[in-house]
Structure 1
Amino acid sequence: MKTYHWGIIGCGKVTEVKSGPAYQKTEGFELTAVMRRDAEKAEDYAKRHNVPKFYSDADQLINNPEIDAIYIATPPDTHTFYALKVAKAGKICCIEKPMAPTHHDCLTINAAFKAKNLPLFVAYYRRSLPRFDKIKSWIDADSIGEIRHINWILTKPANAIDTSKAYNWRTDAKIAPAGYFDDLASHGLDLFAYLLGDISKAIGIATNQQGLYSAKDAVTANWLHHSGITGTGSWNFGTEKREDNVEIFGSKGKIKFSVFNEQPIVLENGEKHKSLVIEHPKNIQLYHVQNIKKHLESEFIHPSTGETAAKTAWVMDQILKAD
């Protein structure tokens, strides 16, 4: 069995538990090198996670002949820059979500990897999580009849970093024009396309209600799936408390779940009421990474690729188009 040697560009917070260890736990994968612009932080990460090599220069990692594949985990405004370098080097790649700030950037990245016939994945890992696969199985089994509509409401109070006016790249309009919407809503919209099919139309309204940062902090949207299913969403990042509620309405019942919270998934069909708790793995990207290995070994077609992620970016662009 071939061993794939991975490198990470941007070994920050997301790689500590969510993703980095998943590359070490997947059979046939080895995490060989990490990179961070701060050399001391890169060295610290490498020592704590038993990674053999570390760099403060991305080019050194990308061009290391020992490295077969690279996971880009930097802020989204640098994804295109690094992805094109990885494609030029002829290496397999996984990009953290969102894939890039715009749909156009996603198309540019996809074209570069397609030209080299290189596998490209994006870390929309919810497409690989058991709790959402269970929901998909309910939908595919016609458990609530014909799907009519999906609605998602996501709210949360302002973070302390935002109320203190300290710098946060997630709310910097130059990096994430719609702030937490870019970071969080992309997960749900991508998941909904996985569950219900691609989205063909989308419109939205975005505004800044709190004035705490330069990005938008309140977004509403309507969309239409190719199948005719309608969708609505509201994301507000300045409310009293956190709520994360999704409802899928069918001709015979309803499915309720959360995109981020590990609350039960619920199936309601007439008098029947089924509630299941399906826990996430400690390293939440584990199944996503394991599926990359299966894809590379031609055992499985990965559900989250550059092509699917570009479609999600298009939806996000359409929602924010008026602004």
Structure 2
Amino acid sequence: MNNNNKIRWGILGCGSVTEIKSGPAYQNTGGFEVVAVMRRDKEKAADYAKRHSVPKFYTSAEDLIGDKEVDAVYIATPPDSHKYYALKVADAGKPCCVEKPMAPNYLDSLEIHKAFNERNLPLFIAYYRRSLPRFLRIKQWLDEDAIGEVRHIRWHLSKPPNELDLSGTPNWRTDAKIAPGGYFDDLASHGLDLFVFLLGEIKEAYGITTNQMGLYSAKDAILGQWIHKNSITGSGSWNFGSHQREDKVEIYGSRGKIMFSVFDEAPIVLINSLGEEKLEIENPKHIQKFHVANIKEHLLGKSLHPSLGESGLHTSWVMDRILGKQ
């Protein structure tokens, strides 16, 4: 801590996700400040620091982690480097937030979780949908039994291949060495983690995977089925070679249904015997705003953050089960 009792953050990997989604959230949260960023490309690191008024920049992760003026570290690099950096942060004895997915597989996620748990250090995973008002409203409906006993949840997510996919340009989201499930690893992880938050932990999951387009090494079509510990069943289909984007979730209950999108800012809809309720709830400009605010409350001992290492680990296990890694 500095003399102003602010928690000083360092960011590893100041790429696109930190420009609007997350970086400003850390800077704008009262009691937080970003004092250092790191990127291997010196010019890009310097440019980011200048544009965002960050005092220091590094090209070495070890230098940032070891900086005595950095109290906590946010890891915003591709997932194949999360374990390497997270273990170094744990060794340095500092709280950490790791971007999602927690790691490319469950075993790496487990190693990260153990490192922080054994040192009694806070570990947050950037599944920020657990903190967004639109999804908290859905959770409120469920807690109020607005659709009765929940029976089943179903999600379909599809999108066309983008220019990078078609050109064969390297992209961590389509490299099987980094993201074996392709866009599933990046996108489906958000939804599956959210479903656990809404409906409880999953006790079993299965899946079928394939590569239909042959454009890249990772999978591009996945089917999944699961069952929550409270016997709620679930199914998902993710296809990244379809003709149009679609993002639709339906939760079926004994007395009604809830519909929403994981990524799109579509209305959230409740249908039951009282009729139909449709709500438009916008996301904040800096979408990790509430996630980061909750990190502050957790570090101050005021409340428990909804996305910690343990829950992120569980999501990694579910992902591995659907991808057939276990």
TM-score, normalised with respect to structure 1: 0.99
Measure how far apart 1:111 and its partner are. Answer: 1.0
Distance across 2 between alignment mates of 1:2 and 1:130: 29
**Residues 185-210 of structure 1, C-alpha deviation per residue, up to 9 Å, x if partnerless?**
00000000000000110000000000
Equivalence for 1:83: 86
- 1:252 corresponding residue in structure 2: 255
In structure 2, how many angstroms separate the alpha carbons of the residues matched to 1:69 and 1:144? 41
Does 2:39 align with 1:36? yes
> CA–CA distance in 2 between the matches of 1:18 and 1:271?
37
Match of 2:234 in 1: 231
- Segment drifting more, 110-119 vs 9-18: 110-119
State the 4+ residue runs in structure 1 displaced beyond 2 angstroms.
none
Q: Secondary structure at the match of 1:216?
A: coil
For residues 77-116 of structure 1, what are the structure 2 equivalents within 5 Å? 77-116=80-119
Aligned residue identity for 2:247: D
1:279-313 deviations in whole A, cap 9, x for unaligned?
00000001000000000111110000010000000
What do the CA deviations read for 1:61-119 (whole angstroms, capped 9, x no partner)? 00000100000000000000000000000101000000011111111111111121110
**Does residue 4 in structure 1 map to residue 7 in structure 2?**
yes
Pairing 1:263–2:266 present: yes
For 2:165, the equivalent position in structure 1 comes to 162
Counterpart-to-counterpart distance in 2, 1:110 and 1:166: 33
Q: Which moved more, 1:78-87 or 1:102-111?
A: 102-111
Aligned equivalent of 2:310, options 293, 307, 310: 307
Q: Is the contact between residue 204 and residue 322 of structure 1 (CA under 8 Å) also seen in structure 2?
A: no
**Does the 8 Å contact 1:8/1:73 carry over to 2?**
yes
Map 1:121-270 onto structure 2 (within 5 A). 121-270=124-273
Task: State the Cα distance separating 1:271 from its structure 2 match.
Answer: 4.8
* Inter-partner Cα distance in structure 2 for 1:166 and 1:105: 27
**Could you state the TM-score of these two structures normalised by the residue count of structure 2?**
0.98
Structure 2 CA distance, aligned partners of 1:84 and 1:112?
7
> Unaligned stretches of 5+ in structure 2?
none
The letter for the 2-side match of 1:291 is N
Q: What is the SS of the residue equivalent to 1:150?
A: strand
Q: CA 1:199 to 1:53, structure 2 compared with 1: closer, same or farther past 3 Å?
A: same
Question: 1:250 & 1:170 partners in 2: Cα distance?
Answer: 35
- The letter for the 2-side match of 1:131 is R
Cα offset, 1:165, TM superposition: 1.2
Alpha-carbon deviation of 1:120?
Answer: 0.3
- Flag structure 1 segments of 5+ consecutive residues without an equivalent: none
Amino acid corresponding to residue 150 of structure 1 in structure 2: I
SS of aligned partner of 1:113:
helix
CA deviation after TM superposition for structure 1 residue 164, in Å: 1.1
* Residues 44-53 or 103-112, more deviating: 103-112
Distance 1:74 1:319 in 2: 24
Alpha-carbon separation, structure 2, partners of 1:88 and 1:28? 25
Q: Distance in 2 between matches of 1:293 and 1:165?
A: 41
- Structure 2 residue 311 is the aligned partner of structure 1 residue 319: no
User: Deviation digits for residues 243-287 of structure 1, max 9, x if unmatched?
Assistant: 000000000000000000000000000251000000000000010
Instruction: Give secondary structure in 1 for the equivalent of 2:282.
Output: coil
Partner of 2:69: 66
Match for residue 21 of structure 1? 24
- Matched residue count: 323
Distance 2:5 2:305 in 1: 18
Q: Which residue of 2 aligns with 1:294?
A: 297
In 1, the alpha carbon distance for the partners of 2:250 and 2:106 equals 27
Aligned residues: CA RMSD: 0.9
